[in-house]
């Protein structure tokens, strides 16, 4: 407190006495300056990974290739993948939030088979909300699923977070075969009033 008062006093005297320092501000409120510094600092920090790779940029390879067979149609639920109907393949639900990633494997009717999350995998606190944690969790889940006898899954992703892309990568690295990717993020154009904004 005393230091702050002294500093303010010095600044004031410098501004008033020195004619060449006319442009210098007289700081009465140090916290204001501090806040501004923090804002500029936050603006310079790179944005957190949201798993939305490919949102803004087009990869030339994928732009050239034809995509007709990549989108489902009315016959897709009856198509066979490895001898199983598309609609009977187990589903891997991924919920990726800012602070954690949760993966479920369920039967096609929604009955849960297994669940893993970054916290269960041994990551704690802020480390849960990283793409490495998500990938490790996904690999762990994939090995368990293979033990259980599940080799092919459909994937639904929910939410934006660091685990959005990396968990899918982890599932493939763990040996599961993914046949489709669905976005399941709840989006409303006339939503209820959401929580207040975070103070930065």
Partner 1 sequence: MKHLKFISRTVLVRNENVDEACRILNRIMGSEGFLDQYRRTMFYEKPTQMRRRINYEKCKAIYDEDMKRKINFVLRKNRPEPFPGCY
Which residues in this chain contact partner 1 in the complex, by CB under 8 A?
A: 51-56, 58-59, 61-62, 67, 69-72, 74, 76-77, 86-87, 154, 156, 160, 165, 168-169, 172, 177-185, 187-189, 191, 193-198
Name which of 31 and 82 has its Cβ closer to partner 1.
Answer: 82
CB of 51 to partner 1, least distance (A): 8
- By beta-carbon proximity to partner 1, the closer residue of 23 and 65 is 65
Instruction: Give the shortest CB-6-to-partner 1 separation in angstroms.
Output: 39
Query: Are the CB atoms for 179 and 106 separated by under 8 Å?
Result: no
Q: Which CB sits closer to partner 1, 13 or 182?
A: 182
Which of 20, 55 has the CB closer to partner 1? 55
- Which CB atom, from 17 or from 109, has the smaller least distance to partner 1? 109
Tokens of 10: 């010095």
Please, are residues 140 and 115 in contact by the beta-carbon 8 Å criterion? Answer: no
Give min distance, CB of 31 to partner 1, in A: 23
Three-state helix/strand/coil letters over 74-86: CCHHHCEECCEEH
Instruction: Report, in Å, the least distance between residue 54 CB and partner 1.
Output: 3
3-state secondary structure of 91: strand
Min CB(178)–partner 1 separation in Å: 5
Stretch (H or E) spanning 95: strand 91-96
Find the shortest distance in angstroms from Cβ 22 to partner 1: 34
Residue 65 is encoded by which pair of tokens?
A: 């290739």
- For the chain, the distance separating the N- and C-terminal CA atoms, rounded to the nearest angstrom, is 24
Q: Which is nearer to partner 1, 35 or 182 (CB)?
A: 182
**Which residues, 6 or more positions from 197, have their beta carbon under 8 angstroms from its beta carbon?**
none
89 CB-contact burial (10 Å; exposed 0-12 / middle 13-18 / buried 19+): buried
């Amino acid at each position: 407190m005393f230091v702050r008062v002294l500093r303010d006093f010095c600044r004031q005297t410098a501004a008033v006495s020195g004619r060449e320092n006319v442009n210098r501000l007289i700081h009465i409120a140090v916290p204001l300056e501090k806040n501004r510094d923090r804002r500029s600092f936050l603006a310079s920090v790179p944005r957190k990974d949201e798993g939305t790779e490919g949102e803004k940029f087009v990869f030339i390879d994928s732009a050239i290739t034809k995509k007709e067979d990549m989108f489902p149609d009315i016959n897709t639920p009856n198509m066979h993948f490895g001898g199983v109907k598309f609609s009977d393949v187990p589903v891997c639900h991924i919920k990726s939030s800012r602070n954690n990633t949760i993966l479920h494997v369920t039967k096609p009717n929604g009955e849960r088979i297994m669940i893993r999350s970054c916290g269960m995998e041994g990551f704690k606190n802020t480390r849960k909300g990283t793409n490495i944690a998500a990938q490790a969790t996904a690999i762990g889940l994939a090995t368990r699923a293979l033990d259980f006898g599940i080799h092919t899954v459909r994937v639904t992703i929910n939410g934006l977070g660091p685990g959005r892309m990396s968990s899918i990568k982890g599932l493939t690295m763990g040996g599961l075969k993914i046949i489709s990717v669905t976005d399941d993020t709840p989006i409303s154009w006339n939503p209820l009033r959401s929580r207040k904004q975070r103070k930065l």
